[in-house]
């Protein structure tokens, strides 16, 4: 929320640059880490859609309707397709997340196999279209590139949840994440597109790899807990 507020006020200092670099990849990684893969693959379709309809899809549709009304979008028969494949501003997150959940359900691969398939796809999109937002193509059915840019983080989060973080790798993960963040910090204002991808990957994958350690912390702060329970509402 702080990051989006900074974007709306067009702030461009280092904190904004670093935060924007890891914010959404980390959220996608956390979503993959927290996904119950067994339940996602074995629950009947009506239970899957019922659960996500109430928790994710319905709040998203309400927020989307409000956004359309206040933004003055032109209503036409193509609008539902455009909103689903190329959602505006921050509302892309829910369709992308639900797409990745459906892929996990429909493709019976292990997290490692999904990561092996998703990584080259994500890298191809990153190097072909950059790290900015935009559609892949110019047709009505051209999706936002984030549908195919973020699988590497989601499936890596699933892999980390499955295998954890052995203590012997903690130092390597900390060093990788720190080097990635330092490298990313030096790229502010740069036009070196080739460096953006590896720097961001090192930073974000290092942070996602730390999730088992972070989830083991048991900190209780009532206002933060309340935000966490209703995080989707506040985000939307």
pLDDT digits (tens, 9 = 90+) for 18-46: 888 999 999 999 999 999 999 999 999 88
Sign of CA dihedral 4, 200, 115, 169: negative
Report the pLDDT value the prediction gives residue 211, as an integer from 0 to 100: 96
The answer for residues whose C-beta is within 8 angstroms of residue 3's C-beta and 6 or more apart is 16, 19, 20, 23
Judge whether residue 185 has pLDDT over 80: yes
Judge whether residue 4 has pLDDT over 80: no
Judge whether residue 8 has pLDDT over 80: no
Query: With bands split at pLDDT 50, 70 and 90, how would you rate the model's confidence at 197?
Result: very high
User: Which residue's structure tokens are 């996904």?
Assistant: 35
pLDDT digits (tens, 9 = 90+) for 93-117: 999 999 999 999 999 999 999 999 9
Tally of CB atoms within 10 A around 132: 8
């Amino acid at each position: 929320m702080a990051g989006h507020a900074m974007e709306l006020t067009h702030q461009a200092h280092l904190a904004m640059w670093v935060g924007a670099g890891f914010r959404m990849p980390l959220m996608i990684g956390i979503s993959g880490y927290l996904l119950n893969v067994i339940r996602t693959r074995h629950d009947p379709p009506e239970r899957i859609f019922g659960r996500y309809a109430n928790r994710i899809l319905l709040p998203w549709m309400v927020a989307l309707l409000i956004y359309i009304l206040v933004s003055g979008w032109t209503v036409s028969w193509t609008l539902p397709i455009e909103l689903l494949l190329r959602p505006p501003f921050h509302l892309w997150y829910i369709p992308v997340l639900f797409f990745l959940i459906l892929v996990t359900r429909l493709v019976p691969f292990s997290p490692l196999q999904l990561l092996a398939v998703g990584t080259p796809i994500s890298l191809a999109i990153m190097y072909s279209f950059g790290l900015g937002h935009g559609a892949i193509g110019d047709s009505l059915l051209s999706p936002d590139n984030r549908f195919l840019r973020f699988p590497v983080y989601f499936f890596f989060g699933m892999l980390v949840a499955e295998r954890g973080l052995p203590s012997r790798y903690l130092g390597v993960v900390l060093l990788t994440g720190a080097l990635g963040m330092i490298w990313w910090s030096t790229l502010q204002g740069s036009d070196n597109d080739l460096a953006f991808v590896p720097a961001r990957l090192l930073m974000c994958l290092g942070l996602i790899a730390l999730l088992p350690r972070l989830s083991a912390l048991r900190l209780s702060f009532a206002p933060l807990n309340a935000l966490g329970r209703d995080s989707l509402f506040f985000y939307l």
